[in-house]
Structure 1
Amino acid sequence: MNSQQVEIYLEAENDVINKNYVEAFRKYESILFDEPGNAATHNSLGWIYKTQMDDYANAENHYKAAINGDPSYPHSYLNYMILLMDLERYNDIQALAKRASEVEAVDKSWIQHRLGLVEELQLQFDKAINFYEKAILFSLNDEKIKGYKEDIARCEEKRELLSKHSSHK
């Protein structure tokens, strides 16, 4: 992005913070007119489509365009995984997580946590716990580690409940 596009992008980000999504949308579109492969802009538009319009198809298209435009831009992977989680497309999350794990700036503990959630939602509690433990290993944030430990405890409780209810069939 040139300096004018950076300025427009930052103004659009500020518009998002101020919930002025229409103006942000217009600014993002103007950037893509000049630079159609801009990853940050596609990511931001994907976020608007998902969170403000529940338009998952357009959100997905923008997240994919962001990743294709700049595979090293980390935020697109994270937002795309959240979208895939909402759509319960667990196999797609696992494939994207593998790709995202190779990107230097992507938070590896967050990826492991997301994979743990996928397993937990599929009632695969031992696998979920394994991912949550990996998330702890990759994290340097004490608050996140505390949360991951809570995830493990929740899975242990659910595993016990599942065992209890499975034996009463």
Structure 2
Amino acid sequence: DRLHPPTLTYANLPKEEEETVWNALISGADYPMKHAPLADGRKRFEAQGLSPVLFKGFAISLRYLLDLEMDSIESRIAELVDYLILALNQAGIAILSPTGSKERSGIVTVRVPFDLTQSEEIKALEEKLHKARIIALPRSGGLRLAPVSVTACSPMRSVIF
């Protein structure tokens, strides 16, 4: 009761009711009022839990990444960043982020011919990228490109040309 508003935690539940309340939380079922009534004077309870389907998808994604091995993912991203930096340099596009292999990351930020302080310009840029099926974000006065290990070179070429 010292919390404002007071909350219901598992510490407040009888041991035999924990599973019922947990199952309601993760299934999205109605809150089991008879098993865990609200504190006096409280009118509602918003249960929040994560879907077991999302947990399963997350677990499968992690397994996939672990099966690929992190070294191969890192190597692939480095190849893509090498390709991107080379193509950007050849096209005369200014790169704002570090390009040296020791200083850079998997993110390349470039200067774009848009005024990124103007929302209309950002919208125009986002539309152009969306049509090309490219996800990139305006950052620090430039456009942030972050290839992932499954990125093909053709979408990166469409950013440049």
Q: Shorter-chain TM-score: which interval?
A: under 0.3
Q: Which has the higher contact order (CA 8 A, sep 6+)?
A: 2
Q: Which has the larger radius of gyration?
A: 2
Whose strand proportion is higher, 1 or 2? 2
Structure with more helix by fraction: 1
TM-score by length of 1: 0.21
